[in-house]
Structures are given as structure tokens and as C-alpha cells.
């Protein structure tokens, strides 16, 4: 298929792009390279342009796309609170423009990269797709709005969609050829691996008094390669004429902040500094996916559902990345 991947030079988008190329698809990546890297797109064609660049978007879509996979977004929750207009502009307004252009050009399918942040502070221990949407920050709200735009457009047109709500994405390509290279990343496993590689002074644990087994927050960490595979499965479903689908992406179990930090210390052999700090406003005690629907309906079977494996891959990438930057 002829595919457009927006944000394909970023962390998740680049891993999906690599798997799409391996599956034999023709991939055009549209990315403004604000947080992504040109080298990350591999053999895909790169159009270095912003999603708000209507002329560039029209030119690419004019070539005829069988599907769009949309990853381009701003994703730092605290920044979304301090600069909400950036998030509603980039994540919602620009996404609206993309969906409108897709409609004009008759693109048959769109896969949208969403987030568990749309659930806010869920009341259940494991969250399924029917949980109420109640985002507590502009990042989650901007993604929720984009989901609704896509659903409403599909209801009014032949467009079919797939929405994937990510939980905590981590890890890297197993051979350390690709990984998270986002400047000033905030994801815990990435931050801890930076500390182990000597690129960061230490790690902060925000909140040690949660009602969890060790007092720290619990999250569902999904390996980026398993997440990418879910996108390929969903694309195959839509390409075969399947109907629109919405899925949580996680493993269905979680690890605490302390467990993650200790895993990185143990696997790296580096006793980096760990600081304890007060809770951050809006952080739930636990956020774990019920991802049974993804497994049942698409036959998705994760390959890397193991914390040590995720950490090993993230560490190998981080060491390679830091060496490359010297």
C-alpha cells in the first residue's frame, strides 16, 4: 500500500515506519523534525514539513494514499498544562486539518495515535475501552477531541478508522538500531536509562505515599515494538475492508516506579541517584490497561511482555545513542 505516516521521524512513528517498510509497503513520512530525526525514517521517503503546511500536505495526499497513520503530536503532559494553546493547536487544530484533507482526497482509512490520558483518573483498577473519558490535562483533552472528530467524520463519510490508546510506551528496537531519541524526554524508563548511561544526574520518584504495594505509582509499560505491531495488525484489518476499531494498547499488568528504577539499576549495574519528591498533581495511583479486545479481535500477541527485556533494549539503545552523540 501507499501510506502516509505523519510524525514518522519520532519515537513511536519511526518504529511503526520500520515495520511497515519490512512488510513491503511504500511509506512517505511527513515530519517537521522538531523532536524527530531524519535518520529515524530509514528507507522511507521523508517530507520535512509541518502538519500545518497545507501546501505540503495537499501535495503528498495528491499522490494518492491508501491510508494515513497519524503520530504527529506534542506529548509532554506538564507542558500541556503550562502551554495549552500549543497542544490544542498542534494536536487538535492540525489534526482537524489533516482529517479534512484526507476527506477531500478520499483516503479510505486513518489510524490515529491516541493515549490513555483520555481516561483521566479512572475509577477501576484495569481500564477498558468503555471507561468514561475524563481527561485532566490539555494533552489528554486535545487527543480526546481529535478522536471525536475522526469518529464523527467516519459516521458521515466512507472513511474507516482505527484508534489506539497507548499506555506507557518504552523500550527500543532489539538490535539497538532505533529507539527513543527525543530531547528532554520525560518517560520513566528512558529517564532511568539516561541516568544509567551517565547522561542525566539521577531520577526523581514523584510520590511515595500512593495506595499501592510500595507507595509509588503503578503503570502498564508496553514495548514499542509490540505497539508498532498492533498498528500493522490494525492496518491489515482496515485494508481488508474491516470496520472501524478502537483499542487500548497495554499488557494488562503494571510495575511500580520503584520496580522500574530497581530493574534499570540491576540490569545496568549502575547505582544512579534516586530522589524522592512530592506527588505531581493529577497523577493516578495506578493506570493499567484492559487490552483483551486487541488480543481477541486482531490476534495481537506481544513478544516482549517482560520488564527486564524492555529495560535491556532501552539500555542498549541509550548507550548506543549516547555514544553516537559524543
Catalytically annotated residues: 139
298 belongs to a structural domain: no
Query: Tell me: the pLDDT tens digits for 54-112?
Result: 999 999 999 999 999 999 999 988 899 999 999 999 999 999 999 999 999 999 999 99
The neighbour count for residue 66, using CB atoms within 10 Å, is 16
pLDDT at 78: 85
182 belongs to a structural domain: yes
66 belongs to a structural domain: yes
296 belongs to a structural domain: no
Domain region containing 211: 170-219+252-288+303-325
**Domain check: are 135 and 235 in the same one?**
yes
All three cell numbers of 65: 494514499
Q: How confident is the model at residue 155 (pLDDT cuts 50, 70, 90)?
A: very high
The 3-state DSSP composition of the chain as helix, strand, coil percent (nearest 5) reads 40, 20, 40
Residue from 102, 92, 91 nearest 64 by CA: 102
**Domain check: are 244 and 257 in the same one?**
no
- Percent of all residues in the chain with a pLDDT value above 70, rounded to a whole number: 100
Quote the DSSP letter at residue 39: G
145 belongs to a structural domain: yes
245-249 vs 109-115, strand pairing mode: unpaired
**Domain check: are 181 and 271 in the same one?**
yes
Burial of 295 per CB tally in 10 Å (0-12, 13-18, 19+)? middle
**Domain check: are 201 and 228 in the same one?**
no
Number of domains in the chain: 2
- Percent of all residues in the chain with a pLDDT value above 90, rounded to a whole number: 93
Query: Tell me: the pLDDT tens digits for 244-287?
Result: 999 999 999 999 999 999 999 999 999 999 999 999 877 889 99
149 belongs to a structural domain: yes
Q: Whole-model pTM?
A: 0.96
Amino acid at each position: 500500500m501507499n501510506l502516509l505516516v505523519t510524525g514518522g521521524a519520532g519515537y513511536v512513528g519511526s518504529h511503526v515506519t520500520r515495520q511497515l517498510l519490512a512488510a513491503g509497503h511504500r511509506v512517505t513520512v511527513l515530519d517537521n523534525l522538531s523532536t524527530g530525526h531524519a535518520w529515524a525514517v530509514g528507507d522511507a521517503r521523508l517530507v520535512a514539513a509541518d502538519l500545518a503546511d497545507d501546501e505540503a500536505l495537499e501535495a503528498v495526499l495528491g499522490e494518492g494514499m491508501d491510508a494515513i497513520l497519524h503520530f504527529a503530536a506534542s506529548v509532554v503532559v506538564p507542558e500541556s498544562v503550562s502551554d495549552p494553546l500549543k497542544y490544542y493547536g498542534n494536536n487538535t487544530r492540525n489534526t482537524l486539518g489533516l482529517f479534512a484533507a484526507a476527506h477531500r482526497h478520499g483516503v479510505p482509512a486513518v489510524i490515529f495515535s491516541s493515549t490513555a490520558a483520555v481516561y483521566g483518573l479512572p475509577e477501576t483498577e484495569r481500564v477498558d475501552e468503555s471507561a468514561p473519558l475524563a481527561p485532566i490535562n490539555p494533552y489528554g483533552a486535545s487527543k480526546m477531541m481529535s478522536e471525536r472528530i475522526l469518529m464523527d467524520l467516519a459516521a458521515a463519510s466512507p472513511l474507516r478508522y482505527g484508534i489506539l490508546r497507548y499506555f506507557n510506551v518504552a523500550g527500543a528496537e532489539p538490535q539497538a538500531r532505533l529507539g527513543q531519541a527525543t530531547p528532554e524526554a520525560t518517560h520513566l524508563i528512558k529517564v532511568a536509562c539516561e541516568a544509567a548511561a551517565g547522561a542525566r544526574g539521577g531520577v526523581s520518584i514523584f510520590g511515595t505515599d500512593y495506595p499501592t504495594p510500595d507507595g509509588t505509582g503503578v503503570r502498564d509499560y508496553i514495548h514499542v515494538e509490540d505497539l508498532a505491531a498492533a498498528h500493522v495488525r490494525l492496518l491489515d484489518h482496515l485494508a481488508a475492508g474491516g470496520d472501524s476499531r478502537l483499542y487500548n494498547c497495554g499488557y494488562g499488568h503494571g510495575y511500580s516506579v520503584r520496580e522500574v528504577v530497581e530493574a534499570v539499576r540491576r540490569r545496568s549495574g549502575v547505582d544512579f541517584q534516586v530522589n524522592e519528591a512530592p506527588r505531581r498533581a493529577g497523577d493516578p495511583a495506578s493506570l493499567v490497561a484492559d487490552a483483551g479486545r486487541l488480543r481477541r479481535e486482531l490476534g495481537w500477541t506481544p513478544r516482549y511482555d517482560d520488564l527486564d527485556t524492555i529495560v535491556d533494549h532501552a539500555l542498549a539503545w541509550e548507550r548506543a545513542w549516547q555514544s553516537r552523540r559524543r
